[in-house]
Structure 1
Amino acid sequence: MRGNPPGTRGGGRPHGSGAWKRPPLVTVTAFGSLILVGTLLLSLPVADHGSATPFLTALFTATSAASVTGLVVVDTADHWSPFGEAVILALIQVGGFGIMAMATVLTLVVSRRMGLRMAVTTGSETKSVSLGEVRQLVLGVLWVTLVFEGALALLLTLRWWVAYDLSFVGALHTGVFHSISAFNNAGFSLYSDSLTGYATDPWITVPVALGVIAGGLGFPVWVELWRFSRRRGERRHWTLHAKLTLGTTAALLLIGFAAFLALEWTNPATMGPLSAPDKALTAFFQSVMPRTAGFNSLDFGAMRTQTLLVTDMLMFVGGGSAGTAGGIKVTTFAVLILVAYANVRGEPTVHAAGRRLTAGTASQATTVVMPALGLVLGATLVLMTVSPFTLDQILFETTSAFATVGLSTGITADLPPVGQGVLIFLMFVGRIGPITLASALALRRHGRLYELPEERPIVG
């Protein structure tokens, strides 16, 4: 009796392979629904302090919170009531956790589909993903989220309670809000000037910065770090993903730190009046924020144009995959650098950290980056047409929106409705676009039945 191989149906395809082609669509639908619910809740009279909230303001805030961006058109503490702040916090938590969980599951699906062994998989490789594995991954993401947010909330609450004129309840509220906002790379703050009032307090800025880094690394990297800590006496091979994420993140943090120090050291409106240790502290904090969290301890509106351009580049790259950070992701950036390096050396394949990159990796990275560049530049052109602001201000705003950073030179609220609508679109696409595009490319990859004659055009 002839039957089908285990785990397949009549066509010999794995169970659920057709269903797993639709997670990008599910992600878009779920994310859009979350924004819609948040918009409706923020439009309620109970969500503000008595001033009616326009629909565009509610939509902008809901999109910014759900996409864990942090751009605002109204002051969070002054405009929103405790109910409104709770809605924003819930959108940040659900948005950050949902994106991290979905990206992690998609990573597992893609790795199984391509026959790779990733750090987030255990046991023997198969061609399907079981419900138990998905449940285990989601619970793991939840555990990591709660541990980091809880630890950060404890540190911040104690600092605000002991060192500042806040009651324990007030300190707890402030600590929990900023811990969730930091780990999810949201950048929402209960202070009108973000954290500029605490620029020289390392007990506030350093924990917030570490929370941003932790959320931006991504769940697969934390799985490897956890396994490495549990197997100290055993030989442990890191995956290429973890090596690229950790190495590129460290390099970009160092570059950002040096750039902020060099460019803003003598700026009287930012670092100029600070002592050398305080300058180092603020430079470290600001080098972390483009990872992508919108907190600031210095006024970006007063920074030099060169600093804004460096920040644009850092924001566009963003943080790690399957994490709460946005941007094109550090691994995408690292792959492009490695491909360019191999081409310069005349090597036919790309090698890094003792591994050879698959043939489709470079093309996937390019396909993610090119639409991102087009969106940012196109949006910049539109905003330059409809608003009176300068190129450096608008480019900073559009890059921040697409990379879901939330940093601003202070022009967000002054943009016309069309300009704010463009930012809403950028925040939505920037949050889910790179994830869904990369996974869709990997899931749709298949061989050609034939090849055309080869010809090489002139390049350069």
Structure 2
Amino acid sequence: MQKRAARPNGFPRKRFRFHPAQIVAFGFAGTILIGTLLLTLPIAKVGPGGATFMEALFTATSAVCVTGLIIVDTATYWTGFGQVVIMLMIQIGGFGIMTFASVIGLAVLRKLSLRARVTAASEVKSVGLEDVKGLVVGVVRISLIAEGVVAVMLTLRFMIGYEEPLGRAIWLGVFHAISSFNNAGFALFSDNLIGFATDPWICLPICGAVILGGIGFPVIVQLRKHLRSPLKWTMNTRLVLVGTIVLLVAGTVYITALEWSNPKTLGPLDWPDKILVGFFQAVQTRTAGFNSVDNAGLDSATLLGSDVLMFIGGGPAGTAGGIKITTFAVLFFILWAEVRGEVAVNVFGKRLSRAVHREAITVVLLAVFVIMSSTAALMVMTDISLDRLLYETMSAFATVGVSTGITAGLPVAGQVILILLMFIGRLGPVAFASAIALRDRRTAYEFPKERPLIG
């Protein structure tokens, strides 16, 4: 039996173990590196030679982090091989690296080790280790079913409505179904989905997939079990569902109203088409990144409102980005309780833990710091207006992927900033901070309390 190495004082040497957040971060980074190497192969690019390292790295990061920002045209720059690589990276990134690894482990070993369950639980935000296996299997089953249904709908529409050959129609349907459910926003058309802006048979299935993927896998799993029993829904499920409905309605009204007469966006359309496009933009701005109008033509007020929608994002433990609906809701109820002079923060008949207060505040402050510092850095590098730069950095951090068209024109240093933003946004600011921390700090003492003046 092998003995553990001992220290000079006779005590065994403590083995270093990676924090689950570090394992998840290394998993995403490793997947991005593999995707980058594949995209630099000459077979991945149209024409002679291969893609540059920056082109491949940016695209791979955007795909794995299910963002959708691009610096080269997906439809014309990459070959079929390159597009398949992008699609696979979107699927793996949407599953989650540790979730995908757990699926492979279950397929090969028929079980998950304790370490694998702990790591997967940190990624899917599971509250206990006993339900990790079921949640992982549920994530895969739900993803494949949703993507399959949307792929069939889109395939039929491309084949019947646009007379695409069967093989091409299937490829378009599958790619856009995976891209939409995983909230990636990659499209196989040079103008994204502008050519289908008034086609509900294309736009609505994509919106449905985006919303379903964006509410988060724990919510979907619970709705599948207790759809007709709302009393059994957790606080997380209720917050996500209510928040999603409110934000979708508010976003649609806001964008449609502001852009109603804008000749560059909704102005030339009939009123039913204006509502469809307004709804589509509200859905995509929150999580996905497809666009059915030229975002460069949006009014500055629309860009600012879109920034807010992107910042909030979708549900936790799903394919959406942002600080998450639950985080925003917790801050709202903290504010509501403080204004009313209540001691405890109560939501749907339950009291929020004070630890949740701290987590929500931490996430928001870190997110604001990352976004503001990145925007300021880009302002120093370029002469692009603040509203467009903020829109770009918010889109990258929230892994949305919408853009006013400035991504490819940014200097290399600016594109690197966007890469870091997409990576941090996919992991989450707190998880990223935990991943770069050398160790967990636990103090065995407390300082005396004192209260400063606030406000």
User: Residue 105 of structure 1 aligns with which residue?
Assistant: 121
Query: TM-score, normalization: structure 2?
Result: 0.88
Q: Report the aligned-residue RMSD.
A: 2.3
> Aligned partners of 1:156, 1:61: CA distance in 2, in Å?
24
1:290 pairs, out of 278, 285, 300, with 285
Kept in 2, the 8 Å contact 1:68–1:187? The answer is yes
Kept in 2, the 8 Å contact 1:212–1:291? The answer is no
Kept in 2, the 8 Å contact 1:213–1:291? The answer is no
User: Residue 338 of structure 1 aligns with which residue?
Assistant: 333
User: Residue 62 of structure 2 aligns with which residue?
Assistant: 64
Matched, 1:50 2:47: yes
Kept in 2, the 8 Å contact 1:270–1:298? The answer is yes
Moved over 4 A (4+): 18-21, 107-110, 437-440, 444-450
Kept in 1, the 8 Å contact 2:120–2:132? The answer is no
1:387 shift after superposition: 1.5
1:150 shift after superposition: 0.3
1:19 shift after superposition: 10
Matched, 1:302 2:297: yes
**Unmatched tracts of structure 2, length 5 or more:** 1-14, 101-118
1:169 shift after superposition: 0.7
1:450 shift after superposition: 4.3
1:104 shift after superposition: 6.8
- Report the count of equivalent residues: 420
Q: Note the alpha carbon deviations across 1:327-375, whole angstroms, 9 max, x for none.
A: 1111001001110111111111100111110111111001111111111
Decide which moves more: 219-228 or 174-183: 219-228
Give 1:93-242 correspondences, 5 Å limit: 93-98=91-96, 101=99, 105-106=121-122, 111-112=127-128, 129=129, 133-229=131-227, 232=228, 236-242=231-237
Q: Note the alpha carbon deviations across 1:270-291, whole angstroms, 9 max, x for none.
A: 0001111111101111110122
Aligned-partner residue type, residue 272 of structure 1: G
Matched, 1:349 2:349: no
User: Residue 377 of structure 1 aligns with which residue?
Assistant: 372
> Aligned partners of 1:109, 1:263: CA distance in 2, in Å?
37
Decide which moves more: 400-409 or 97-106: 97-106
> Aligned partners of 1:438, 1:277: CA distance in 2, in Å?
46
Q: Tell me the secondary structure at the aligned position of residue 189 of structure 1.
A: coil
> Aligned partners of 2:217, 2:321: CA distance in 1, in Å?
14
1:303 shift after superposition: 0.6
2:404 pairs, out of 401, 409, 426, with 409
1:388 shift after superposition: 2.2
Aligned-partner residue type, residue 89 of structure 2: L
1:111 shift after superposition: 2.5
> Aligned partners of 2:388, 2:161: CA distance in 1, in Å?
36
Q: Note the alpha carbon deviations across 1:246-284, whole angstroms, 9 max, x for none.
A: 111111111101111111001011000111111110111
Q: Note the alpha carbon deviations across 1:73-126, whole angstroms, 9 max, x for none.
A: 0000110000000000010001111259489722777634xxxxxxxxxxxxxx
Kept in 2, the 8 Å contact 1:199–1:297? The answer is yes
> Aligned partners of 2:197, 2:98: CA distance in 1, in Å?
29
Kept in 1, the 8 Å contact 2:22–2:434? The answer is no
> Aligned partners of 1:148, 1:241: CA distance in 2, in Å?
22
Matched, 1:359 2:354: yes
1:175 shift after superposition: 0.6
1:437 shift after superposition: 5.5
Q: Tell me the secondary structure at the aligned position of residue 58 of structure 2.
A: helix
User: Residue 32 of structure 1 aligns with which residue?
Assistant: 29
> Aligned partners of 2:446, 2:59: CA distance in 1, in Å?
50
2:309 pairs, out of 306, 314, 320, with 314
**Residues 186 and 36 of structure 1: is their aligned pair in 2 closer, same or farther, counting only changes over 3 Å?**
same
> Aligned partners of 1:448, 1:361: CA distance in 2, in Å?
20
1:54 shift after superposition: 0.9
Q: Percent identity?
A: 50
Query: TM-score, normalization: structure 1?
Result: 0.87
Kept in 2, the 8 Å contact 1:104–1:220? The answer is no
Kept in 1, the 8 Å contact 2:366–2:430? The answer is no
> Aligned partners of 1:46, 1:190: CA distance in 2, in Å?
18
1:454 shift after superposition: 2.4
**Residues 216 and 434 of structure 1: is their aligned pair in 2 closer, same or farther, counting only changes over 3 Å?**
farther
1:147 shift after superposition: 0.6
1:238 shift after superposition: 1.3
Q: Tell me the secondary structure at the aligned position of residue 414 of structure 1.
A: coil
Give 1:394-433 correspondences, 5 Å limit: 394-433=389-428
> Aligned partners of 2:322, 2:53: CA distance in 1, in Å?
27
**Residues 164 and 433 of structure 1: is their aligned pair in 2 closer, same or farther, counting only changes over 3 Å?**
same
Aligned-partner residue type, residue 202 of structure 2: I
Kept in 1, the 8 Å contact 2:87–2:179? The answer is yes
> Aligned partners of 2:63, 2:138: CA distance in 1, in Å?
23
Aligned-partner residue type, residue 28 of structure 1: A
Aligned-partner residue type, residue 384 of structure 1: M
**Unmatched tracts of structure 1, length 5 or more:** 1-17, 113-128
> Aligned partners of 1:21, 1:363: CA distance in 2, in Å?
24
> Aligned partners of 2:124, 2:382: CA distance in 1, in Å?
44
Aligned-partner residue type, residue 215 of structure 1: G
**Residues 446 and 362 of structure 1: is their aligned pair in 2 closer, same or farther, counting only changes over 3 Å?**
farther
**Residues 187 and 260 of structure 1: is their aligned pair in 2 closer, same or farther, counting only changes over 3 Å?**
same
Q: Tell me the secondary structure at the aligned position of residue 111 of structure 1.
A: coil
User: Residue 5 of structure 2 aligns with which residue?
Assistant: none
Decide which moves more: 44-53 or 292-301: 44-53
> Aligned partners of 2:88, 2:428: CA distance in 1, in Å?
22
Q: Note the alpha carbon deviations across 1:222-262, whole angstroms, 9 max, x for none.
A: 11111113xx4x68421100011111111111110111111
Kept in 2, the 8 Å contact 1:100–1:324? The answer is no
> Aligned partners of 1:403, 1:109: CA distance in 2, in Å?
18
Kept in 1, the 8 Å contact 2:96–2:123? The answer is no
